Structure 1
């Protein structure tokens, strides 16, 4: 209850400060009620572009992690033996023990001009993405992948084996079993994992600073505005909050979380 109160209270303060303004000469916050900050966000094409770009990154990361987690979790839950299953589960959990910045800077080294990615792709006549928007999507997909694998693995582990056997006995092929048996069973887990990947990608601002080059997302724009224009930063912070609330409402309305 106290955590909920602190969270909701901080959101209320954030929303309240978004209606203030800043003195252009002294940069002091002026406690005068107005909607100029929200009007700026809605009318300025720069902020609209950054918002759409951030939303696209969050969606791309979520889709990539969903596509990667399904075969990985299925192999862990239904194919690997008990000893290998435990080893693979530890392998998935191990990156969570490493620091966020350590992993992000490791990717910066690998994506550099003389990094591991270019060294591997060079014999094939290819080059890595370098620093930019593709690098941001790649690194965020790596960072949040365990949060998608774990709930999908748990859902597949609970899937009764006789459901798969009955599907095979009735003549269903692998793809039909995947579409009619496996995907409906793991759909709530996919949506649960997507809440993490979507929300964490939407609010991230360090990865884009480390590997994003000149790319601007909502997170680093908010961080840069905190010292310059705090009310505008608060108004910008309300954008990902609204997007996450809308996403959670859509997921709940679809009934995908009912069986979690």
Structure 2
């Protein structure tokens, strides 16, 4: 009986599909190659090819008289990034991305800690619903909603007036850098909307990292006489750090490349995304737009390399 069964397996099946199935069963590496080839070709040609074309464009220059692209290798376009007006755009964007990431981590950590340590059953389901629900609505709808909230006649101004704190809001808006005519056209408003929009991308990785922290480690720290601050500093924070870094990858990179939020809620001073849009669409200076685009790619490349060394990808 065993010999008959073995022979039936080794003989193979008849028909085109049967023989093809037997061939792939005997050669699994060929099947794996055929399955991975389409997405790898798409990644290599469309994504990496576009990045390579973009990088190539950044080494060209624009003729000042004709406005045409000069297809000769040069570093003059990158030197233009060091002009004070262009360098300020880069610095402004990086500082905003860093502040948004830091604020998101400070706000997200207690929320994620509560969800990981205390939320159970329907409360954990409610937590996931609350975190994910903002992601289900339109990106532009959320931004325009915040523009109405932060406007001079918006609900936030009304709340300050009801609390007799209009003087505090007016004093803040009078500050030279963070202020403006209203919150809806200031860096403060831009910062608030950035934090709100990207917050879920920080909460979930931290919550996933905290889920992996054994509860007996916290109890052992308390049994050994560790204060809550010491337990947080020496036990909880180091184990949650990969999740924080993983979340910062999202918040930092998304803020670094976004141009819609600063365009709708912000001042006339540009961010990198707006500069790319202006140089490519309005000014027609594609090489300079490409050079601006390379900046966040390089920054995120270095950031991802440092995040990998910290084990952040384990929390993704």
Same fold (TM over 0.5): yes
Aligned 8 A contact 2:246 2:313 in 1: no
Aligned 8 A contact 2:57 2:290 in 1: yes
Aligned 8 A contact 1:53 1:217 in 2: yes
Report the counterpart of residue 194 of structure 1 in structure 2. Answer: 248
Question: Could you give the per-residue CA deviations for residues 148-179 of structure 1, whole angstroms, max 9, x where no partner exists?
Answer: 00011111122211111212222222211111
Shift of 1:116: 1.4
Report the counterpart of residue 166 of structure 1 in structure 2. Answer: 220
Report the counterpart of residue 218 of structure 1 in structure 2. Answer: 272
Q: Distance in 1 between matches of 2:76 and 2:91?
A: 21
Q: Distance in 2 between matches of 1:151 and 1:249?
A: 18
SS at match of 2:205: helix
Question: Larger relative CO (CA 8 A, sep 6+): 1 or 2?
Answer: 1
Shift of 1:257: 2.6
Residue correspondences, number: 258
Aligned 8 A contact 1:139 1:207 in 2: yes
Give unpaired runs (5+ residues) of structure 1.
Answer: none
Answer with 1 or 2: which has the greater Rg: 2
| 2:197 counterpart of 1:136 | no
SS at match of 1:212: coil
Report the counterpart of residue 289 of structure 2 in structure 1. Answer: 233
Give unpaired runs (5+ residues) of structure 2.
Answer: 1-39, 170-181
Residue from 82, 101, 107 that aligns with 1:62: 101
Report the counterpart of residue 8 of structure 1 in structure 2. Answer: 48
Report the counterpart of residue 21 of structure 1 in structure 2. Answer: 61
Change (3 A) 1:258 1:194: closer
- Name the TM-score, length of structure 2 as normaliser: 0.77
Shift of 1:258: 6.4
Report the counterpart of residue 103 of structure 1 in structure 2. Answer: 142
| Superposed structure 1 runs of 4+ greater than 4 Å apart | none
